[in-house]
Amino acid sequence: MNKYIEKKIKTTRFSLIIMLPFYRIKRNVWLEAHLLKLMKPLERLWLIMKIDECVQPSGSIEPLPYDEVKQLIMEAKTWIDNNIQENRRNTQLDSLEHMYLPLYNPGRYMAKIEKQLTNITVLTAISRLYDEVLHTMPSKPLGIGWVDVSIIDGDVYICGKQHKYLSRILSSNNEALIELIRIIRGKSS
């Protein structure tokens, strides 16, 4: 175990260490295979990560079937694409707005659609990332491994390195946190 993690555990109020299953989808790119079903479509992207070491060949937590994991990634991509279309529809002016635009401040229109334009840009980038992931994912996983995931005072560490985005997700996603607690209770009973 990483020395930093060991020191942090000794000085912390709350810590837990579990081995979560991951599917290898590329040389050193791994996809978490247990909590994925509990994550929202935008959160699922953060469960795809580069891991060079600390992968163990076995663990006690059962992974989701690979086909189900692949389906969850496809569903996330579809959800994002639908949101892009919805935001594009919200940026269009109706005929009355076209007629009255010269009478009003055009900045009002820009203020109205600014959020949608930002959402479209961000969601388009995420959609392209999902395209790349789906293109990269083989029909069968290249391997399966269990990775050391530590939660120390609400911060998530994967292989001894802090994962800020996953920490933020777990602090706001009660389902995933409850599942982790269930896993821990199952291990201790």
* Domain hosting residue 175, numbered range: 3-56+142-188
> Could you tell me if 51 and 102 lie in one domain?
no
Question: Given a cut of 80, is residue 187 above it in pLDDT?
Answer: no
pLDDT mean over 30-35: 90
Mean per-residue pLDDT over the chain, rounded: 81
Query: Which of 3-7, 94-98, 163-167 is predicted most confidently?
Result: 163-167
Q: Is residue 43 part of a domain?
A: yes
**pTM recorded for the entire structure:** 0.76
Number of domains in the chain: 2
Give the model's pLDDT for residue 58: 85
> Could you tell me if 129 and 147 lie in one domain?
no
**Burial class for 109, CB neighbours closer than 10 Å (0-12, 13-18, 19+):** middle
**pLDDT-above-90 percentage for the chain:** 30
Q: Is residue 151 part of a domain?
A: yes
> Could you tell me if 96 and 130 lie in one domain?
yes
Q: Is residue 64 part of a domain?
A: no
- The answer to whether the beta carbons of residues 19 and 33 sit under 8 Å apart is no
Q: Is residue 63 part of a domain?
A: no
Beta bridge partners of 31: 23, 48
pLDDT mean over 7-20: 60
> Could you tell me if 128 and 75 lie in one domain?
yes
> Could you tell me if 129 and 146 lie in one domain?
no
> Could you tell me if 51 and 29 lie in one domain?
yes
Place of tokens 């189900």: 68
Select from 119, 136, 153 the last residue of a domain: 136
For residue range 110-164, list pLDDT tens digits in order.
Answer: 776 788 888 889 999 999 999 999 999 999 999 999 988 887 877 888 888 888 8
> Could you tell me if 109 and 150 lie in one domain?
no
> Could you tell me if 21 and 47 lie in one domain?
yes
Angle of helix 174-188 versus helix 164-172 axis, rounded to 10:
90
Select from 94, 118, 136 the last residue of a domain: 136
Q: Is residue 65 part of a domain?
A: no
CA dist list (Å): 83 to 80, 123, 144, 162, 187: 5, 8, 32, 31, 39
Select from 136, 155, 180 the last residue of a domain: 136
Give the model's pLDDT for residue 115: 80
> Could you tell me if 129 and 150 lie in one domain?
no
Confidence of residue 184 (pLDDT cuts 50, 70, 90): low
- Of 2-6, 146-150, 153-157, 172-176, least confident by mean pLDDT is 2-6
